[in-house]
Amino acid sequence: MASVALENIQKTYPNGFKAIHGVDVDIQDGEFLVLVGPSGCGKSTLLRMIAGLEPVTEGVMGIGGRKVNKLEPSERDIAMVFQNYALYPHMTVYNNMAYGLKIKGLPKSEIEERVKNAASILELTDEQLTRKPRELSGGQRQRVAMGRAIVRKPSVFLFDEPLSNLDAKLRVQMRMEIKRLQDDLGITSIYVTHDQVEAMTLGHRLMVLNNGEVEQLGTPLELYEHPASLFVAGFIGSPAMNMITSKISSDGKTIHIADDIELALENGGSADHTNRDVILGVRPEHLELASGSDDALPMTVTVVEHLGAETLVHGHFGNDMTDLTIRKSGILQVKAGDILPTKIRQDHIHLFDPTTEKRINL
């Protein structure tokens, strides 16, 4: 096991494109860090630099206290699991898992012990070990790819979207297996995904990347409860956070929404935050149906999604038709065209600066 330290890591590709602008993070021994962000934000570039598959343009890359900038991938004591499994089609499952160890020159008995041990952790049967990869399902192939990483007993696991070729049900199952495996083995892991649910459920910490820059680094709940920017607020959480253009009053104690609605601000009154435009964010589960219409946003329902355990109600309010989504547990009997008086839970609002898009803390 090993810690991984990135110090001002930057990447400029030979064509001059700057893909990573300076990333700093200390990943603790045994930690599970997830790199998450939309397509093209630089996740794979960063992971490939840690793996040694892509040279670092600037900064210091450390694994287990050693500077590894100039080391080959094979010298970094890492194992990588790819999206496309990268298995050898002509070899049996056993040989796919054993191959790296044979190259290293490990004794046959030790190879056999490690492969059998990994197969048992991953619930691959003896019979499956004799098959070729094409004779396995997608989920089983992904297990073999993980087995090949495990047998090497690396200090660090690197995962590049390992579940994206699997169907939705299998993804959930494999996600839990990866989590259990990482908990049991305690190997420092860095995992790339663009799926925020995967990121939230797997990571001890998440690094949200946007255009090659770190938007926020923190635990899943820190990001959920205190998103540092509009980008993180919109990216983490599904359905996404509602965003409402609003204004803080001249005494800073209230916030005006859609002209005629006023909300008291819990920590309001600070001279720094008076008479200013803000974007108010509120998660779908923090909107409530009001009994009366006083001080409530009149939401016109457009779409109702009954998910069984909960109901999602989508609609809009106000002249500028601001979108709103409400999440309620259980079954809510509403239909398109209904007007629902909707209240914002004041203790759960988030404020953002419309220009810098950063969080405002009152």
Residues that bind ligand ATP (CB under 6 A): 13, 15, 17, 19, 37, 39-45, 194
* CB closer to ligand ATP out of 13 and 88: 13
Least separation, in Å, of the C-beta of 209 and ligand ATP?
7
Residue 162: strand pairing partners: none
* CB closer to ligand ATP out of 164 and 254: 164
Residue 168, Ramachandran bin (φ over 0: left; ψ between -120 and 50: alpha; else beta): alpha
* CB closer to ligand ATP out of 44 and 322: 44
Least separation, in Å, of the C-beta of 12 and ligand ATP?
9
* CB closer to ligand ATP out of 17 and 319: 17
Cα separation, 106 vs 113, in Å, equals 11
**Closest by alpha carbon to 181, among 124, 98, 223?**
124
* CB closer to ligand ATP out of 24 and 135: 24
Please say whether the beta carbons of 252 and 265 come within 8 A: yes
Residue position matching structure tokens 């609002």 = 349
* CB closer to ligand ATP out of 44 and 249: 44
Burial class (CB in 10 A: 0-12, 13-18, 19+), 262: middle
Taking residue 294's Cβ as centre, other Cβ atoms within 10 Å add up to: 9
Least separation, in Å, of the C-beta of 11 and ligand ATP?
8
* CB closer to ligand ATP out of 194 and 276: 194
Least separation, in Å, of the C-beta of 261 and ligand ATP?
39
Instruction: Look at residue 3 and give its three-state secondary structure.
Output: coil
CA contacts within 13 A on the Cβ side of 88: 12
Please work out, in degrees rounded to the nearest 5, the angle formed at the alpha carbon of residue 306 by the alpha carbons of 303 and 308: 170
Residue type, 6: L
Tokens of 213: 């820059």
* CB closer to ligand ATP out of 177 and 195: 195
Number of residues that make up the chain: 362
Least separation, in Å, of the C-beta of 43 and ligand ATP?
4
Least separation, in Å, of the C-beta of 232 and ligand ATP?
16
| Sequence-ordered alpha helix ranges (H) in 64-192 | 93-104, 108-121, 126-129, 138-151, 168-185
Least separation, in Å, of the C-beta of 203 and ligand ATP?
16
Helix (H) or strand (E) holding 214: strand 213-218
Instruction: Look at residue 316 and give its three-state secondary structure.
Output: strand
Least separation, in Å, of the C-beta of 48 and ligand ATP?
7
Name every residue whose Cβ is closer than 8 Å to that of residue 125 and which is 6 or more positions away in sequence: 119
